[in-house]
Amino acid sequence: MSILDPNIRSFSRLENLIPRPVMIKTGKECSFLSPEVVIDYEQGNQSLDFIADYLKKALFFSFVGASCADQKHRIGKIKFQLKENQSGSSNEDYQLKIEENQIILVGSTDRGIFLGVQTLLQLVEHMPEGSPGISLPQCEIVDTPRFSWRGVMLDVARHFFPPADIRRVIDLMARYKLNTLHLHLTDDQGWRIEINTWPKLTEIGGQTEVGGGKGGYYSQAEYADLVLYAQDRYITIIPEIDMPGHTNAALASYPELNKTKSAPDLYTGIEVGFSSLDIDNPLTYEFVNDVIRELASLTPGPYIHIGGDEAKSTKLEDYGPFIERIQGIVNQHGKRMIGWQEIAQSRLASGSIVQYWTDDSKMSTLPEGVNIIMSPARRAYLDMKYDQDCQLGLNWAGYINLQDAYSWDPETYLDIIQPGNILGLEAPLWSETLETIADIEFLMFPRLLAYSEIGWSKNAKGDFTEFQHRVAKQNNLLERQQVNYYRSKLVDWS
């Protein structure tokens, strides 16, 4: 067989999937997707309507210029089937069968079908551009995730990114089976979400960013659209309003929220830890209550993130009671509170979630019912530079090359925590040094592939050399999507 034989190329594509599926049974031959392929499913299911349409559009993109020469091994039908999961392990399970003349995709829920579609699209998009026809390896894939929380955080406060950029991030996340997007909506340098009862937050506090640029904010209508866009891609948006620190933009917008009753200047630098809400002022809690109420009404998902990090200008004796009071407000509006690791110093209610980030402060054991998301800065911070030559990013937690990003385990990173308390991982991208979507993509890719695999794959081998080869094979997909990825020297992209 020649190296150009479609059989060889399509079977190696199965090996190169990221994240690696739990089980792959390879068949003997490959089939060709007909440009007239029909998607078949039980009519009247709106979620499946959306997924079918999504798949058709993505395939159409790949079909441009392709033909189907092989009449025998011709796939004319893709069947979606919902089938209750016997083991009941996850609502994200799927099975993908590529047969001689059809593809069958089974999910216990529509979410599973969507995830299976991502696997199928990866197989298609791994093909070099201009290939004659879309060959697919006959196979059976059975897959289920390791963690239910597989996230990315984007800081839209230090620099503002318009809705189109957020949609782009959502689309790329979906391809790698990530399912939560945490938006860091407020910080010292900017307030990015319109709040009807406190309009100056965006009129004043939304008008700048790090470096003095013009900033910006999401209107509630724009934000609601983003939430829907993400929901259609099975991604939950987690909104964060950071407090009691990281609040200069709010304090600059409303003098009455300040202890001195005069507003500080807007801030465009990158220091942290200098601002605090006034813990003793009743107006502070009216303000927080209004913000959380409006945000909760924009949030179909169960969580609101209240930050709580680096509150260096809040007295320690005030910090705990403040967080507990805010937790009550979040719960009152029907949501569960998430906060950065520091909130573990306060009395947390069952259902609240702690996001681990720094190795500098010790984490104590957590109360019953409080779970953890792992975002250790040394491993999971997408804003750390890859190496000393990297122009973008910071390096306070060290350099994180692709190997550092891949070679750790959220369940064993902290020995004090019961593995069962770990919901999964989230990779934060802070934006002090980022101005454009190209900058975002550069720091995200290829490291996001490592986080995708750690978060999803029960079957990851943890072997970096093997992972390196698979990442190299993602170049077709990344180029097809025109991703501005970092050509890591650890990967042979040729």
Instruction: Select from 92, 125, 309, 439 the one that contacts ligand TNX (CB under 6 A).
Output: 309
Q: Are 49 and 16 in contact (CB under 8 A)?
A: no
Under the binding rule (CB under 6 A), the answer on residue 383 touching ligand TNX is yes
For ligand TNX, the closer of residues 394 and 414 by Cβ is: 394
- Report in angstroms how near the CB of residue 428 gets to ligand TNX at its nearest: 6
What is residue 272's DSSP assignment?
A: -
Residue 2's CB is within 10 A of a number of other CB atoms, namely 5
Give how far the C-alpha of residue 174 lies from the chain's centroid of Cα atoms, to the nearest Å. Answer: 8
For ligand TNX, the closer of residues 278 and 432 by Cβ is: 432
Under the binding rule (CB under 6 A), the answer on residue 363 touching ligand TNX is no
Question: Which residues within the stretch 324-343 sit at the binding site for ligand TNX (CB under 6 A)?
Answer: 340
Residue 268's CB is within 10 A of a number of other CB atoms, namely 16
Under the binding rule (CB under 6 A), the answer on residue 394 touching ligand TNX is yes
* Of 291, 294, 314, the residue nearest 244 (C-alpha): 314
For ligand TNX, the closer of residues 96 and 397 by Cβ is: 397
For ligand TNX, the closer of residues 31 and 346 by Cβ is: 346
The CA distances from residue 96 to 8, 36, 206, 460, in Å, are: 20, 20, 46, 19
3-state SS, residue 380: helix
- Report in angstroms how near the CB of residue 271 gets to ligand TNX at its nearest: 10
Put residue 397 in one of left, alpha, beta given phi > 0 → left and psi -120 to 50 → alpha: alpha
For ligand TNX, the closer of residues 182 and 336 by Cβ is: 182
The amino acid occupying position 248 is N
- Report in angstroms how near the CB of residue 167 gets to ligand TNX at its nearest: 23
- Report in angstroms how near the CB of residue 371 gets to ligand TNX at its nearest: 18
- Report in angstroms how near the CB of residue 82 gets to ligand TNX at its nearest: 40
For ligand TNX, the closer of residues 176 and 430 by Cβ is: 430
- Report in angstroms how near the CB of residue 313 gets to ligand TNX at its nearest: 14
Q: Are 168 and 437 in contact (CB under 8 A)?
A: yes
- Report in angstroms how near the CB of residue 375 gets to ligand TNX at its nearest: 8
Under the binding rule (CB under 6 A), the answer on residue 310 touching ligand TNX is yes
The CA distances from residue 289 to 162, 258, 282, 285, in Å, are: 27, 17, 11, 6
Sign of CA dihedral 36, 38, 44, 47: negative
- Report in angstroms how near the CB of residue 356 gets to ligand TNX at its nearest: 10
For ligand TNX, the closer of residues 143 and 242 by Cβ is: 242
CA gap 326, 217 in Å, rounded: 24
Residue 351's CB is within 10 A of a number of other CB atoms, namely 16
Sign of CA dihedral 418, 421, 425, 431: negative
Under the binding rule (CB under 6 A), the answer on residue 161 touching ligand TNX is no
- Is 29 designated active site? no
Helix pair angle (110-125, 46-63), 10° resolution: 0
What phi, psi does 460 have (nearest 5°)?
A: -65, 140
Sign of CA dihedral 84, 89, 93, 94: negative
3-state SS, residue 103: strand
CA gap 385, 399 in Å, rounded: 5
For ligand TNX, the closer of residues 246 and 470 by Cβ is: 246
Question: Which residues within the stretch 162-191 sit at the binding site for ligand TNX (CB under 6 A)?
Answer: none
Q: Which residue has the tokens 């319109």?
A: 194
Residue 404, H or E segment: helix 402-406
Give the contact letters, 3-32, x = binds to ligand TNX (CB under 6 A), - = no.
------------------------------
For ligand TNX, the closer of residues 349 and 394 by Cβ is: 394
Angle made by CA atoms 283, 286, 288, in degrees to the nearest 5: 110
Q: Of the listed 310, 411, 435, 479, which one is catalytic?
A: 310
Question: Which residues within the stretch 426-465 sit at the binding site for ligand TNX (CB under 6 A)?
Answer: 430, 432
- Report in angstroms how near the CB of residue 272 gets to ligand TNX at its nearest: 5
Please give the span between the terminal C-alpha atoms of the chain, in angstroms, as a whole number.
Answer: 22
Size of the site for ligand TNX (CB under 6 A): 10
* Contact residues for ligand TNX, defined by CB under 6 A: 272, 309-310, 340, 357, 381, 383, 394, 430, 432
**Catalytically active residues, by annotation:** 310
